Amino acid sequence: GAVVSQHPSRVICKSGTSVKIECRSLDFQATTMFWYRQFPKKSLMLMATSNEGSKATYEQGVEKDKFLINHASLTLSTLTVTSAHPEDSSFYICSARDAAGFDGYTFGSGTRLTVV
C-alpha cells in the first residue's frame, strides 16, 4: 500500500533556530500534501495544503512566514519552522494523496518537535 515517510520523528531545538521536517511519498506520486499540527489530547489542525510546483495554501491563522512549506517534487514536501519558540512545540503530521487516483490519504508517522 501507499507509504508516506516523515522525518525526523523527534527533534529538539533551541529557541530562535529553524527546523525542517520532510514528508516523502515512497511508492506513489503526490500532487497534494497536507500539513497538520496536533496539540496534546486534541484533534488535528490543518495548517496548509501543499501543491507540487506552486505556493502552499495556508489555513486562516497560520503564519506563512513562520511555517515555510516547499513542495518541489511529486514525492517530497518540507515544512520549515523558522525562528522556533517554545509555543511551537507540538506534534506535526503530514499526509499525501496519490495523484493517480483518489484512494484516500496516507499519513506520515509524525514529528515531535520540542523547542527549548
Partner 1 sequence: GNSVTQMEGPVTLSEEAFLTINCTYTATGYPSLFWYVQYPGEGLQLLLKATKADDKGSNKGFEATYRKETTSFHLEKGSVQVSDSAVYFCALGRGGSEKLVFGKGTKLTVNP
Angle value at C-alpha 85, between 81 and 86, nearest 5 degrees:
120
Residues contacting 81, CB < 8 A, separation 6+:
18, 19, 21, 66, 67, 88, 113
- Among 7, 20, 32, 68, which residue interacts with partner 1 (rule: CB under 8 A)? 32
Instruction: State the nearest-atom distance from the C-beta of 16 to partner 1, in Å.
Output: 27
Q: How far apart are CA 88 and CA 72, in angstroms?
A: 24
Binding window for partner 1 (CB under 8 A); candidates: 12-20, 60-68, 74-82, 104-112: 104-112
DSSP calls for 49-70: EEETTSPPEEPTT--TTTEEEE
Binding mask 44-83 for partner 1 (x = CB under 8 A): x-x--x-x--------------------------------
Considering the rule CB under 8 A, would residue 104 count as an interface residue with partner 1?
A: yes
Q: How far apart are CA 96 and CA 31, in angstroms?
A: 8
Instruction: Give, as one character, the DSSP assignment of residue 100.
Output: T
Binding window for partner 1 (CB under 8 A); candidates: 14-22, 61-69, 81-89, 106-114: 106-114
Binding window for partner 1 (CB under 8 A); candidates: 11-19, 31-39, 66-74, 77-85: 31-39
| Interface residue list for partner 1 (CB under 8 A) | 6, 31-32, 34, 41-44, 46, 49, 51, 93, 95, 97, 102, 104-110, 112
